């Protein structure tokens, strides 16, 4: 006979509470991910609109500087008001 012995590893299921179940954890991860995506997207939209407004104001200011160099601020204010935008 052989000196070998077969050892079987038994795994005992432990019923200790580990917190949230898999389904609840997945739902929480999806919720947090969705909220983060919404917040980041909202910030990117705000940033894009702010940049677009700044570029438009810079273009208006450059045009006013070329046309009316002595009254640039008045020209910029007038053009922005005529376009329907609020001043700063």
pLDDT value for 21: 82
pLDDT tens readout for residues 14-52 = 555 566 688 899 999 999 999 999 999 999 999 999 999
**Region for 84 from its dihedrals, namely left if φ exceeds 0, alpha if ψ lies in -120 to 50, beta otherwise:** left
Cβ atoms of 87 and 80 within 8 Å: the answer is yes
Q: Report residue 18 as tokens.
A: 């580990």
Cβ atoms of 20 and 29 within 8 Å: the answer is no
- Judged against a pLDDT cut of 80, whether residue 13 lies above it is answered with no
Cβ atoms of 50 and 43 within 8 Å: the answer is no
Confidence class of residue 9 from pLDDT cuts 50, 70 and 90?
A: confident
């Amino acid at each position: 006979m052989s000196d070998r012995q077969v050892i079987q590893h038994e795994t005992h299921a432990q019923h200790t509470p580990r917190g949230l179940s898999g389904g609840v954890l997945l739902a929480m991860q999806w919720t947090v991910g969705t909220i983060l995506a919404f917040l980041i997207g909202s910030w990117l939209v705000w940033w894009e609109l702010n940049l677009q407004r700044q570029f438009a104001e810079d273009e208006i200011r450059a045009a006013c500087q070329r046309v009316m160099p002595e009254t640039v601020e008045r020209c910029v204010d007038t053009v922005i008001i005529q376009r329907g935008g609020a001043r700063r």
